[in-house]
Structure 1
Amino acid sequence: MPVAGPSGRHRRDPSSDGIEEDVPSQRTDDVVNDDEEEQPRRGVKAVKAEKKNERRKVAQDADADADEDLDADPLADFGDQPLDRAQAQKIHGYSQDWDMMRKTKHVQFYGLVKDVATTFAEFGEGDKGDKAEKLLIEMDNLMRNLMDTEAEMVYHNKVLHDLHQRVVRGEEITNVVDKYDEEVQKKISEYQQKTSRQKYTKSDEYVSYRQAVFEVKNPGIAMPPLADLVPREDGDESDEDDEDVQVGGVTQDYKCPLSLTILVEPLTSRLCGHSYSSAAIREYLSLRGGRKQCPAAGCGKAISLGDLAPNKELARKAKDAARRERMREEDSDEGEVVE
């Protein structure tokens, strides 16, 4: 009869030929569960399938536990009595949890959405192009939803932080759960009243996202002010009355100012922000050593190798730009008519 080991699972005799046989565990206090029934011998495939299902069940349970943790109200146990310093410190910890979750788990999705959207943007006209446009609309909506969720996370963090600070200043706070819920809901309601321009066009993440998609679809053309790409809604100032200066995008140049080819393993100057292919700038600076004038047109900064740093994000973009350039050249060659 099988005996449960320390982990509660049955061990397999490696000497069995295609059949799993239950053997006693090596525990010194081997105890047989009286409720355990004798199990029939099973094939290896059946055992593997069962273990796979067990792992899937464990993962599902973990996800469910995580959801419960997010949905649980950590302040529910505080009651209606005035908060003391110890409880205020717990609130400070909850505030940091929200901020950590936003930074480590949520913000990373912006880059994923941008990468997927730029891939869709590469499709040209025709059926694929039409489908890609629909998918780009969905990706834009997803990007906005992510930003909405991040805004809510910021509000949770801020309200908890403010509650903590009020207790530290000696203010008596009762009914903390009600105050927390009211303040968070108030901020969320105020946010939901904003227009699309007000919520998104001043966000660096959204500007970067739209810039990347526009760049793929319109190579060599600077993106117009983002407000021009987001329709005006009721509540927005007219474009003529808007006091904020709307700055358009810039045309990203992925060519090295020295080699005049697409950047390869780019190094970016901390002094002026210009980038160069690693091999080209190293050769340029090693001719005489020391500092030399930045080779970018119009830049008067003196740079050295110590002022340069690898730029992985630019390297990825330059690689994508080189690939798109090759694709355009191939399409151009296919379109030529040979007489």
Structure 2
Amino acid sequence: MPSRTVSAPRVPRYASRPDRRLPDAELQRDAAGDVIEEEDENEHQGRGEEDDDGEDDDSDATGPAPSNEPSEQPLASTASMTIKGSLRDWDKSLESSQALRSNITDATVSYAELFSTISGAKGNAMDTAFRDMIDATFEAQLRREAMKRIADQVAKGEAVYDAVGAYERQVQEGLEAYKAKTTRQKYLHHEGYKTFKERVWEAHTDEAMPPLADFIDIEDGDEPDDDDDFTAGAVRQEYKCPLTMALLKDPVTSSVCHHSYSKEAILDYITQARNRGESAKCPRSGCTKVISPSTLKDDRDLAKRVATHKRRMELAEGNKRTQAAEIID
């Protein structure tokens, strides 16, 4: 008996797209479960055929052939759990970014304390590393926002089509807008970058830091902003508590007026005011804002800056004693 050549079954183009409905007119299953692709009876259908006289014969035309493309399906409501998981992942990424920025700051401050400078290639490298983390954090926030937008639509019961495409378009538009900004537009108003520069500056000098704008060159697209706080004159950080007049201990900062105090001292101050039936006003000279325990937040960053300032004071005092001893000798 002659052998029969069996050709491998042709995989339908829809087989790799299980998430989309297969048109019933396109595919059928036989009794054995094999997929049989329905043959097109007339490959020229919709185009018309040329008759013997060379003219189009429209007698058999039945209109345009139906599209072979499967219809787009909306995102299933069950996808909400997956989206929530992605949001949690982005939250963790943002927390990691914050921790990395803090580590870069601490390392740069330590270098500045050790060598009493942060200029040169090392300083530029650390500054670039911090800016890179700001950029990475922006992208993480952008992607989280795009994912959150889809999650909100699903939660409202809205039909979300082409979720991946919508997500990527929103992210791409945001990244392009961010990349088009100048260096000043990216970093001049970033509180984290301002704090980074202040801490590094204070680690190697007792002088007040110049305006942040002095560290960032003007580029095409930047506009003068003489009234901006970031271009104002140098301001010296106050490290003493207005109540104890000693260096801040366990500093807390008011969310109302942004003044800082030693935690134990300010809480005792508020309690005494309440015992007198009075509102506790900020003890900082010239400030009239009312404060309360709920408006006070632990300020870890300020605590680090106080520690740096204290080390510089102790180092300066030690140098004075050494110089005095050398003079006596």
Normalised by the length of structure 2, the TM-score is: 0.62
Is contact 2:147–2:167 with CA below 8 Å preserved after alignment? yes
CA 299–119 in structure 1, closer or farther in 2 if over 3 Å, else same: same
Aligned partners of 1:228, 1:314: CA distance in 2, in Å? 23
1:264–1:277 contact (8 Å) kept in structure 2: yes
Segment drifting more, 113-122 vs 248-257 = 248-257
Deviation (angstroms), 1:153: 1.3
Q: Which amino acid aligns with 1:118?
A: V
Secondary structure of the structure 1 residue equivalent to 2:327? coil
Question: Cα offset for 1:330?
Answer: 1.9
Match of 2:149? 162
Q: Given the superposition, is the C-alpha separation of residues 285 and 78 from structure 1 closer, same or farther in structure 2, using an over 3 Å criterion?
A: same
Change (3 A) 1:255 1:170: closer
Task: Establish whether residue 324 from structure 1 lines up as the match of residue 307 from structure 2.
Answer: no
**1:299 match:** 287
- TM-score normalized by the length of structure 1: 0.60
- Deviation, 1:231, is 1.2
Shift of 1:243: 7.9
Amino acid at match of 1:82: Q
Tell me what 1:39 maps to: none
- Decide whether the 8 Å contact of 1:215 with 1:223 is kept in 2: no
CA shift in 2, pair 1:194/1:307, >3 Å: closer
Residue 190, structure 1, aligned to residue 174, structure 2: no
Query: Aligned partners of 2:18 and 2:189: how far apart in 1?
Result: 39
Kept in 2: contact 1:211–1:223 (CA 8 A): no
CA contact 2:243–2:265 (8 Å) conserved in 1: yes
1:232 aligned to 2:218? yes
Output aligned runs, 1:139-150, within 5 Å. Answer: 139-150=126-137
- Structure 2: which 5+ residue stretches go unaligned? 1-16, 21-70
Q: Is the 8 A contact 2:94 2:140 kept in 1?
A: no
Q: Which moved more, 1:157-166 or 1:321-330?
A: 157-166
8 A Cα contact 1:106 1:150, kept in partner: yes
Aligned length: 255
- Kindly indicate whether residue 73 of structure 2 is the aligned counterpart of residue 82 of structure 1: yes
Indicate the RMSD between aligned Cα atoms, in angstroms.
3.8
Quote the residue 1:338 is aligned against.
327
Distance 1:233 1:306 in 2: 43
Q: State the partner residue of 1:108.
A: 99
Decide which of 246, 265, 270 is 1:261's aligned counterpart: 246
Match of 1:119 among 91, 110, 114: 110
SS in 1 for 2:111: helix
Provide the C-alpha distance between the structure 1 equivalents of 2:197 and 2:121, rounded to a whole number of angstroms. Answer: 15
CA distance in 2, matches of 1:310, 1:155: 28
Quote the offset at 1:173 in angstroms: 1.5
Aligned pairs for 1:1-339 (under 5 A) are 81-86=72-77, 89-90=80-81, 92-93=83-84, 96-124=87-115, 129=117, 133-165=120-152, 168=156, 170-171=158-159, 173-174=161-162, 176-224=163-211, 226-237=212-223, 239=224, 242=225, 245-247=228-230, 248=232, 250-266=235-251, 268=253, 272-277=257-262, 290=276, 291=278, 294-300=282-288, 311-336=299-324, 338=327
CA shift, 1:329, in A, is: 2.0
In structure 1, runs of 5+ residues without a counterpart are 1-75
Give 1:87 shift.
5.2
More moved, 309-318 vs 147-156: 309-318
Q: Is the contact made by 2:250 and 2:263 (CA closer than 8 Å) also made in structure 1?
A: yes
Aligned partner of 1:230: which letter?
Answer: I
> Counterpart of 2:306 in 1: which secondary structure?
helix
Counterpart of 1:106 in structure 2: which amino acid?
Answer: S
Whether the 8 Å contact between 2:101 and 2:130 is mirrored in structure 1 is yes
8 Å CA contact retained: 1:214, 1:223: no
Aligned pair in 2 of structure 1 residues 169, 308: CA closer, same or farther (>3 Å)? closer
- Cα pair 2:74 2:160 within 8 Å, conserved: yes
Q: Deviations over 1:136-181 (max 9, x none)?
A: 222111111111111221222222233445564745513x434433
- Aligned-pair identity in percent equals 27
2-structure distance, mates of 1:286, 1:164: 45
- In 2 relative to 1, CA 235–263 (structure 1 residues): closer, same or farther, beyond 3 Å? same
**1:263-321 alpha-carbon deviations (Å, 9 max, x no partner):** 23445556654444456667877889545665432234576889766554433332221
Counterpart amino acid of 2:247? I
2:249–2:262 CA contact under 8 A, matched in 1: yes
Write the letter of the residue equivalent to 1:245. Answer: D
Q: Are residues 302 and 156 of structure 1, via their aligned partners in 2, closer, same or farther at CA, if it must alter by over 3 Å?
A: closer
Question: Aligned partners of 2:147 and 2:310: how far apart in 1?
Answer: 48
In structure 1, the residue matched to 2:42 is none
Shift in Å, 1:115: 1.2
Larger Rg belongs to: 2
